[in-house]
Amino acid sequence: MTIDLRQMRYFVALAETLHFGRAAERLHISQPPLTRQIAALERELGVRLLERNSRHAGLTHAGRRFLEDSRLAMATFEQACRNAQLAERGELGTLTVGFMMHAAHTVLPRLTRQFMNDHPDVHVELREMVPDLLPDAILTGRFDAAVTFDPGAIRGLSTDRIHEEQLCLVAHSSHRLAALPIVRAEQLAGEPLIATPPDVAPTLRDAILRYLRSAGIVPVFRLEAQLQQTIVSLVAENLGVALVPASMGKLGLSGLAFRPLEQAPTVAHVVAWRDGNMNPTLRPFLASAGVPESSASDS
């Protein structure tokens, strides 16, 4: 069929006024073109939509049904137009964000809440992953963005620092260091350490090494585990001590003491994204994260 939305619009105006002259006036056309379009519509459908005389019209049974469906079709078309405009502005669509576990206890909840409040029609998918895997997941298009430790310079990847977090000591509550209000680096000499492997979170491992070596300590890593939550659980079993992001204290595990470090090292959280990502929802997300527009636009 060759029916178009203009014919539907003409028919709806006539069906709502049941008067050719008033319908033509509403449509800002003369009456003859309206009459011709309605006649063409009926021929195309093969049904009579209206019973009419020279000026007035009444709907047939088929006409009443076609009016109901025409209103729905027109509303659907108008919504499709609005959706296209919203999608172009990044106000409608899907955004996939990867994150490391630390971010779930620091910046990610606030960032997600702000973005979803400002863009309620964007569906956000959050996916947790260990830090070393996040850059590749972004570059291959699995994620639109990620909140992670600074991965350093990687071709095709842009980053912007959004959070800075101090490291602290976590020890079993019975440990000698648990009684101290603040722990100095030199007091960690000889302590068996539990840490993330350097290939999983190199930024975090480097921060720990620099801190200990600044005090002349040769670190002894007794255990390694990928996840900070696992590390904290191992400390709770009194298998060693660990230097972890201070946000790990929010886990609320019993039998542990989290103590601040003197001249504590810090680790940066960044939001990372692939240069040239065409998902329109990415730009408003980066804006919510505080990324300057120039940085987001240049990518």
pTM: 0.74
Provide the phi-psi class of 87: left if phi over 0, else alpha when psi is between -120 and 50, else beta.
alpha
pLDDT at 55: 63
Least confident of 78-87, 207-216, 239-248, 257-266: 78-87
* Residues 290, 150 share a domain: yes
* Residues 72, 152 share a domain: no
Q: Which of 70, 88, 106 is the last residue of a domain?
A: 88
* Residues 78, 15 share a domain: yes
- Domain holding 194: CATH number? 3.40.190.10
* Residues 169, 260 share a domain: yes
Q: Which of 25, 55, 88 is the last residue of a domain?
A: 88
* Residues 114, 35 share a domain: no
pLDDT at 298: 57
Name the β-bridge partners of 165. Answer: 267
pLDDT at 280: 93
* Residues 277, 145 share a domain: yes
The total of structural domains in the chain comes to 3
Q: What is the pLDDT of residues 174-191, one digit of tens each?
A: 999 999 999 999 999 999
Average pLDDT over residues 111-137: 94
Average pLDDT over residues 12-41: 92
Q: How far is CA 67 from the centre of its chain?
A: 41
